Amino acid sequence: MTSLTNKAKLTREERERKLILKHKFENRITIAKFGKESFDLGDYGNAVKKYTEYLEIQAEVLDCKDIYSLSTDKFNPKTDLTEMLMISHIYFELARIYDSSDKFHDEAKRCLDRFVHFSANQPYQVVNSELIRKYVKKSRLKLMGDFQNAYHQIYIQSKKCFVVTHCYGETHQITQDFRSFKEWMLDYSLGHKFVQYYYAFSPKLIKTCEEYPRISSFFILPIKFSLRMVAKFILPHILKSC
């Protein structure tokens, strides 16, 4: 009898816990909004409190051990894209707050890591890269190198070479060679700008090709040929020097 009573008690407590969590999750956007309002007003203590509360709710719902374990594979990119963007910005704003205090620099680095993770390979990648680029340019940061590296890593970690992938697929050797070429270009300021413009322009081109297959077939053959020639005669010389 005691065993049955304890089991019933645990079942009731679990049901209550789920109801509380459900209520929290339904109010998560309001909590995040309070965090943003506090951040904009310069009330950074309350901003950290609300942002952390929001991330903790997400971590609990998604069964992650802590707020730094949240990852994009826990979300549906078709239905949760706006939330993923918001999460990336929350991590970025937390990193900005933590940067100002030496004793919170570890937290700042972990937030930057999550910001990069939630930015690379996402449709809003270019938006987030511009967000951090402009902030680094105008700010005096204690962790300047880490913020600059985060900006750089958004492109390094990206596996998207939109046009090449559209022509040859994810696993083709030519696609791999162009990814290596992209990493080489990112070591140079002009190369960085080119990659930035490429990511801004190429998704629109691919979307047009997918919507209008006849236009796609007209352009793809000469593009594939050009890419193959570059991969065969030019990239080997560049990548050999890396």
pLDDT tens figures, 93-114: 999 999 999 999 999 999 999 9
Confidence of residue 229 (pLDDT cuts 50, 70, 90): very high
Asked whether the predicted pLDDT for residue 170 surpasses 70, the reply is yes
Which whole number is the average pLDDT over 184-207? 81
- Position 7 scores a pLDDT of 62
Q: Please give the mean pLDDT across all residues of the chain.
A: 89
Domain positions in the chain are 161-242
pLDDT tens figures, 149-159: 999 888 877 77
Which whole number is the average pLDDT over 47-61? 97
Asked whether the predicted pLDDT for residue 39 surpasses 70, the reply is yes
- Position 9 scores a pLDDT of 61
Confidence of residue 1 (pLDDT cuts 50, 70, 90): low
Confidence of residue 131 (pLDDT cuts 50, 70, 90): very high
Asked whether the predicted pLDDT for residue 45 surpasses 90, the reply is yes
Lowest-pLDDT range, 20-29, 65-74, 129-138, 210-219? 210-219
Per-residue HEC secondary structure of the chain comes to CHHHHHHHHHHHHHHHHHHHHHHHHHCHHHHHHHHHHHHHHCCHHHHHHHHHHHHHHHHHHCCCCCHHHCCHHHCCCCCCHHHHHHHHHHHHHHHHHHHCCHHHHHHHHHHHHHHHHCCCCCCCHHHHHHHHHHHHHHCCCCCHHHHHHHHHHHHHCCCCCHHHHHHHCCCCHHHHHHHHHHHHHCCCHHHHHHHHHHHHHHHHHHHHHHHCHHHHHHHHHHHHHHHHHHHHHCHHHHHHCC
Position with higher pLDDT, 166 vs 80: 80
- Position 8 scores a pLDDT of 59
